[in-house]
């Protein structure tokens, strides 16, 4: 399995300047390659692909080191491949009858990363005192905050150097051998069987065990700070220095919130994957297909997709089982008697006239999600105890 480990880089002033020039050259090359594709097409009606571009820009790099001299072969290759992918995606979407945007020239703020093959002009080094440094050709040995060790037997494949709001990051793509996955300890005390999760509309998640999980208060605090900062931007005069300053503040808050959210979801998904033998969730693509679009966008932005993704790879590591079910009618059905209880989105409580079950609507939905998972696995509700038994792996 492939994993990305991200570290903060702390370049000194000279290294920062070198990184900036490196990014400048990379951006120039990317834009030149894009231009080459466009002109080739205009002149001959034929496209130009990666192999031809690589030959061209390899020679360009040797001929004019002042233009591209800071880049090495592998980073040039990665840039050209990135462009190749952008075009492939563009044509695929055209073919599918969509109206995609044409690959665009990148301005300074749109150009965020440069990639390398590990070992080619870049390497992690260890100093005598055990401290790690990231060596990058033409930049030097950069300090980094090595907050998590790289697992033994992991192979570093690719390296991405990133610039976000004037901060620098190192992303290492690692290949971990599959046997590194730890199967869940049988009968371990923390394991508490299967759980169903409803991605609620009000609270973030509801579980079949009755737990409602929301964004933590500090995250909500950051969100309201963001709103204040956004208002500040709109009050200030366009083109003014004060406005520019306020815009930077908004960008920093966005980044901070993204980090906080990421961190929170990582911990939440890890905990869920470690504690449960089986997790049932809804297929998000289906879930929001027919709901109110504005509602779906406002409360769910990118968050839930990220949640599913993170959960999917956490379960791979813990040996928990993830079952994705069709969300149809999970919110309307009674989780005890199966009666259909219609309710509008504004109604928070499931109140079954048939069997008298009164429950938070999202918790009721979460129980239905779990039941769907079991029926899709070919087990009835009576077998719930089977899966709850600690002997399940």
* Least distance to Zn ion, CB of residue 361, Å: 13
- Residue 359 touches Zn ion, criterion: CB under 5 A: no
Q: Which residues pair with 46 in a beta bridge?
A: none
- Residue 295 touches Zn ion, criterion: CB under 5 A: no
What residues from 204 to 223 belong to the interface with Zn ion (CB under 5 A)? none
Is-catalytic flag, 342? no
SS3 label, residue 129: coil
- Residue 349 touches Zn ion, criterion: CB under 5 A: no
Of 55-63, 133-141, 151-159, 326-334, the segment contacting Zn ion by CB under 5 A is 326-334
* Least distance to Zn ion, CB of residue 337, Å: 3
Of 177-185, 259-267, 290-298, 327-335, the segment contacting Zn ion by CB under 5 A is 327-335
| Count of CB atoms situated within 10 Å of the CB of 108 | 11
- Residue 270 touches Zn ion, criterion: CB under 5 A: no
- Residue 337 touches Zn ion, criterion: CB under 5 A: yes
- Residue 357 touches Zn ion, criterion: CB under 5 A: yes
Catalytic residue among 115, 191, 274, 282: 282
Of 94-102, 275-283, 285-293, 329-337, the segment contacting Zn ion by CB under 5 A is 329-337
* Least distance to Zn ion, CB of residue 196, Å: 17
Beta strands in 149-295 (DSSP E): 155-164, 167-175, 194-198, 205-207, 212-213, 278-282
- Residue 339 touches Zn ion, criterion: CB under 5 A: yes
* Least distance to Zn ion, CB of residue 286, Å: 24
Q: Cα–Cα distance between 200 and 198 in angstroms, integer?
A: 5
* Least distance to Zn ion, CB of residue 365, Å: 14
Say if residues 284 and 304 touch (Cβ distance below 8 Å): yes
Nearer of residues 163 and 333 to Zn ion, judged by Cβ: 333
Say if residues 71 and 26 touch (Cβ distance below 8 Å): yes
Q: Is 126 exposed, middle or buried (0-12, 13-18, 19+ CB in 10 A)?
A: exposed
- Looking only at the bridges linking them, the beta strands covering 155-164 and 167-175 are antiparallel
Of 125-133, 201-209, 277-285, 352-360, the segment contacting Zn ion by CB under 5 A is 352-360
Say if residues 199 and 304 touch (Cβ distance below 8 Å): yes
SS3 label, residue 259: helix
Say if residues 326 and 284 touch (Cβ distance below 8 Å): no
Q: Which residues pair with 206 in a beta bridge?
A: 198, 212
Nearer of residues 32 and 357 to Zn ion, judged by Cβ: 357
CB within 8 A of 227, min separation 6: which ones?
Answer: none
Nearer of residues 36 and 332 to Zn ion, judged by Cβ: 332
Nearer of residues 132 and 336 to Zn ion, judged by Cβ: 336
Of 179-187, 194-202, 215-223, 338-346, the segment contacting Zn ion by CB under 5 A is 338-346
Of 4-12, 263-271, 324-332, 356-364, the segment contacting Zn ion by CB under 5 A is 356-364
Q: How far is CA 187 from the centre of its chain?
A: 32
Of residues 26, 76, 83, 334, which one binds Zn ion by CB under 5 A? Answer: 334
* Least distance to Zn ion, CB of residue 336, Å: 5
Q: In what order do the strands lie in the sheet with 205-207?
A: 212-213, 205-207, 194-198, 278-282, 321-325
Is-catalytic flag, 84? no
- Looking only at the bridges linking them, the beta strands covering 155-164 and 321-325 are unpaired
117 closest CA partner among 155, 157, 150: 157
Number of residues that bind Zn ion (CB under 5 A): 8
Q: Which residues pair with 123 in a beta bridge?
A: 135
* Least distance to Zn ion, CB of residue 364, Å: 9
CB within 8 A of 283, min separation 6: which ones?
Answer: 324, 325, 326, 327
DSSP 332: T
Nearer of residues 277 and 352 to Zn ion, judged by Cβ: 352
Of residues 352, 365, 370, 387, which one binds Zn ion by CB under 5 A? Answer: 352
Is-catalytic flag, 282? yes
Of residues 59, 126, 166, 354, which one binds Zn ion by CB under 5 A? Answer: 354
* Least distance to Zn ion, CB of residue 367, Å: 11
Q: Tell me which residues touch Zn ion (CB under 5 A).
A: 334, 336-337, 339, 352, 354-355, 357
**Residues with catalytic roles:** 198, 282, 362
């Amino acid at each position: 399995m492939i994993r990305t480990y991200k570290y903060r880089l702390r370049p000194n002033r000279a290294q920062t300047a070198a990184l900036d020039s490196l990014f400048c050259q990379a951006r120039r090359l990317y834009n030149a390659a894009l231009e080459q594709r466009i002109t080739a097409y205009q002149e001959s009606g034929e496209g130009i692909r990666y192999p031809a571009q690589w030959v061209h820009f390899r020679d360009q790099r040797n001929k004019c080191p002042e233009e591209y001299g800071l880049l090495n072969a592998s980073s040039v290759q990665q840039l050209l491949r990135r462009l190749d992918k952008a075009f492939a995606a563009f044509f695929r979407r055209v073919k599918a009858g969509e109206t995609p945007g044409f690959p665009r020239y990148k301005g300074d703020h749109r150009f965020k990363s440069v990639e390398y093959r590990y070992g080619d002009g870049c390497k992690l080094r260890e100093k005598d005192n055990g401290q790690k440094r990231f060596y990058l050709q033409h930049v030097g040995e950069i300090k980094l905050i090595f907050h998590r060790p790289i697992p033994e037997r992991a192979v570093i494949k690719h390296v991405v150097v990133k610039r976000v709001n004037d901060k620098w990051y190192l992303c290492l793509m690692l290949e971990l051998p599959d046997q590194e996955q730890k199967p869940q300890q049988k009968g371990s005390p923390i394991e508490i069987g299967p759980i169903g999760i409803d991605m609620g509309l009000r609270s973030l998640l509801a579980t079949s065990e009755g737990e409602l999980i929301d964004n933590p208060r500090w995250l909500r605090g950051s969100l309201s700070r963001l709103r204040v900062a956004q208002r500040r931007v709109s009050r200030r005069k366009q083109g003014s220095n004060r406005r520019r300053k306020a815009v930077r503040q908004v960008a920093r808050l966005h980044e901070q919130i993204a980090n906080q959210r990421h961190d929170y979801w990582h911990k939440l998904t890890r905990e869920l994957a470690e504690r449960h033998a089986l997790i049932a969730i809804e297929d998000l693509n289906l879930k929001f297909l027919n709901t109110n679009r504005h509602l779906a966008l406002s409360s769910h932005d990118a968050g839930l997709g990220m949640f599913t993704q993170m959960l999917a790879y956490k379960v791979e590591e813990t040996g928990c089982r993830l079952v994705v079910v069709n969300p149809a009618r999970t919110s309307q059905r009674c989780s005890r008697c199966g009666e259909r209880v219609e309710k509008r989105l504004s109604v928070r409580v499931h109140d079954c006239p048939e069997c008298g079950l009164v429950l938070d609507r999202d918790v009721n939905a979460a129980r239905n999600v779990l039941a769907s998972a079991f029926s899709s696995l070919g087990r009835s509700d009576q077998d719930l105890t089977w899966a709850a038994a600690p002997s399940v792996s």
